[in-house]
């Protein structure tokens, strides 16, 4: 599927036909519906509640520290998925511009070889300062895309390091991308980013000391993941040369096709529900309003933070 480049008439925004066309795979309708979801219109919760349920595991999260080559790896992985006859939707979450709050980096430009491909849909999103490295409406967008005729949905996160763990609740399978130079960071990452991986990828593995880093990483994982039913794969790639991508694709497919343990399924759906409930409860809470209320209380004299927050 191709990404949208033309303006879609706004008169179609609220018609049921728009959503029906999107669920049948119409590219323009999919793009327009994502824009409506992003704007969080009043009818969006009802429309999402009426989406057909799907038990298929198809959501792949790609995360890791900045500079690991996540976008290049995603671009190369798209080629492998297409070669396997799969239709792919990609959500690329980028840092927000401080001026217009849109995506600062253009993954649609970086992945421009898929511009006209009928089986690839790519959308760039702004993180809007989210500490989890994701867009605030990411789960609603992914739920919608899961109801559309895509075989795989890839989410590439902004790359903010250890706080980038929300992806583990969102994705069915999480790929953590590192580079050989990450060796000194692994110990500090273990408590966060390192614990969410279903697959580790050491990208740019043609660099010096890559083999040593791969061995070190494989030694660290058993201590981190003693209760896992299978060891976490550690794979070497050179994304810009296509090295190791067939093996990575095979590992992703094996992970998605593996039966999920009931405890893991319960954990993931609990995290997803918690994410949406927190968002719903915080929806009407604005920082500016909070600041004004605190200012008023401070001007009265003694200020007790805990008494203040009880009002909320």
Q: Tens digits of per-residue pLDDT, 36-94?
A: 998 887 889 999 999 987 778 899 999 888 888 999 999 999 999 999 999 999 998 87
In terms of C-beta distances under 8 Å and separation of at least 24 residues, what long-range contacts does 273-282 make, across chains too?
274/169, 275/139, 275/166, 275/169, 275/170, 276/139, 279/136
The structure's pTM equals: 0.82
User: Helix axis angle, 262-282 relative to 138-147, nearest 10°?
Assistant: 120
| Residue, of 64 and 13, whose pLDDT is higher | 64
Measured CA to CA, the distance from residue 156 to residue 239 in angstroms comes to: 15
Question: pLDDT tens digits, residue range 86-112?
Answer: 999 999 887 644 434 444 454 445 667
pLDDT tens figures, 112-154 = 788 789 999 999 887 554 545 577 888 899 999 999 999 999 9
| DSSP, residue by residue, 19-42 | HHHHHTT-HHHHHHHHHHHHHT-T
pLDDT for res 8: 41
- Tell me: pLDDT of 253 over 70: yes
Determine the 3-state secondary structure of 202 from DSSP: strand
- The mean pLDDT of the chain is 81
Question: Which strand ranges, in their side-by-side order, compose the sheet holding 88-94?
Answer: 120-126, 88-94, 152-156, 59-63, 173-178, 199-202, 234-236
CB 148 within 8 A of CB 56: no
Which helix (H) or strand (E) covers residue 302, if one does?
A: none
296-308 tens-digit pLDDT = 989 988 888 998 8
Rg (CA), the chain: 21
Rounded Cα distance between 40 and 49, Å, is 14
Q: CATH number of 53-259: 3.10.310.70, 3.40.50.1820, 3.40.50.300, 3.40.50.2300?
A: 3.40.50.300
Beta-carbon count within 10 A of 214 CB: 18
Length of the chain: 312
Annotated domain spans of the chain: 53-259, 268-309
């Amino acid at each position: 599927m191709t990404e949208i480049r033309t303006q879609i008439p706004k008169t179609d925004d609220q018609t049921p036909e728009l959503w029906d066309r999107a669920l049948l795979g119409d590219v323009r309708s999919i793009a327009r519906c994502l824009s409506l979801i992003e704007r969080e219109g009043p009818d969006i919760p009802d429309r999402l509640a009426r989406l057909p349920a799907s038990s298929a595991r198809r959501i792949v999260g790609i995360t890791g520290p900045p500079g690991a080559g996540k976008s290049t790896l995603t671009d190369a992985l798209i080629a492998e998925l297409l070669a396997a006859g799969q239709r792919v939707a990609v959500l690329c979450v980028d840092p927000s511009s401080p001026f217009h709050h849109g995506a600062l980096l253009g993954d649609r430009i970086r992945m421009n070889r898929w511009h006209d491909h009928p089986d690839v849909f790519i959308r760039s999103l702004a993180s809007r300062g989210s500490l989890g490295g994701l867009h605030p409406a990411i789960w609603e967008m992914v739920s919608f895309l899961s109801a559309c005729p895509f075989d795989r949905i890839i989410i590439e996160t902004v790359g903010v390091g250890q706080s980038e763990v929300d992806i583990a609740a969102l994705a069915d399978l999480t790929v953590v991308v590192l580079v050989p130079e990450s060796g000194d960071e692994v110990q500090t990452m273990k408590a966060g980013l390192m614990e969410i991986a279903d697959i580790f990828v050491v990208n740019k593995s043609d660099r010096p000391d890559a083999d040593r880093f791969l061995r070190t990483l494989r030694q660290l994982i058993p201590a981190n993941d003693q209760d896992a039913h299978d060891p976490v794969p550690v794979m070497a790639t050179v994304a810009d040369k296509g090295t190791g991508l067939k093996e990575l694709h095979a590992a992703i497919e094996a992970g998605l096709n593996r039966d999920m343990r009931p405890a893991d399924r319960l954990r993931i759906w609990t995290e997803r529900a918690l994410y949406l409930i927190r968002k719903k409860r915080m929806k009407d809470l604005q920082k500016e309003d909070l600041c004004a209320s605190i200012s008023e209380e401070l001007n009265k004299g003694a200020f007790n933070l805990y008494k203040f927050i009880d009002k909320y």
